[in-house]
Structure 1
Amino acid sequence: MESRLADASRGNSEACYELGIAYSCGTGGVDVDLVQAHKWFNLAALGGNAEGQALRAEVAEEMTPQQISEAQRQARAWLSGRGASLN
């Protein structure tokens, strides 16, 4: 997880996708957290990852509107904190 987070912080959209997988499935030492999964899939999608886009939609089907809003807020905050785009 540490290396994926480091790669994501450098703008790696594949790392964002892998973080989304981890949070959606509860792997890599993290619990299932759909808000975090949506956030990471959203960031992957913004970086051009088509699978991230599809899985973001799939995860959203299991979330409340409030959870989706929180995931989007967290994604915006993460991008703002980085000051860079994803690739």
Structure 2
Amino acid sequence: MAFTDIETAEAHQAILSDPNGDDLCKLGLLYSTGQGGAIDFVEAHKWFNLAALMGSEAAKHYRRELSDEMDPADVATAQRAAREWLSTRH
């Protein structure tokens, strides 16, 4: 799935306000495919994890697929990053 520059900017802007699961899932897709920058599976997993917490079924699927390709230590790093992000939001 390709995203336009506008969609990419909107996804990044959404995390500054009131993101929903779709916004966060889109960020996961951006990082997992390298659109707008380098591929970063840890960052992608973080956003998929957060999107899944907000009810995104697609994010649950992508997170599971990505986890299969990642080192367990990297998954743990992504999970910590998700918890840290949540702690700054509340």
TM bin (shorter chain)? 0.7 to 0.9
Please, which of 43, 49, 57 is the counterpart of residue 50 of structure 1?
57
Q: CA RMSD in A?
A: 1.1
- Match for residue 5 of structure 2? none
The Cα of 1:25 is off from its aligned counterpart by: 0.6
Q: Rg larger in 1 or in 2?
A: 2
1:52-71 alignment, distance < 5 Å: 52-71=59-78
Deviations along 1:3-61, one digit per CA (max 9) or x if unpaired, are 2122134132111000000011111x121000001000001100000000010000001
TM-score by length of 1: 0.88
**Identity of aligned pairs, percent?**
41
Which 4+ stretches in 1 moved above 2 angstroms?
none
Larger RCO: 1 or 2 (CA < 8 Å, sep 6+): 1
How many residue pairs get aligned? The number is: 82
Separation (CA, whole Å) in 2 of partners of 1:75 and 1:24:
16
Task: Structure 1: state its 5+ residue gaps.
Answer: none
Supply the distance in 2 between the matched residues of 1:33 and 1:46 (Cα, whole angstroms): 20
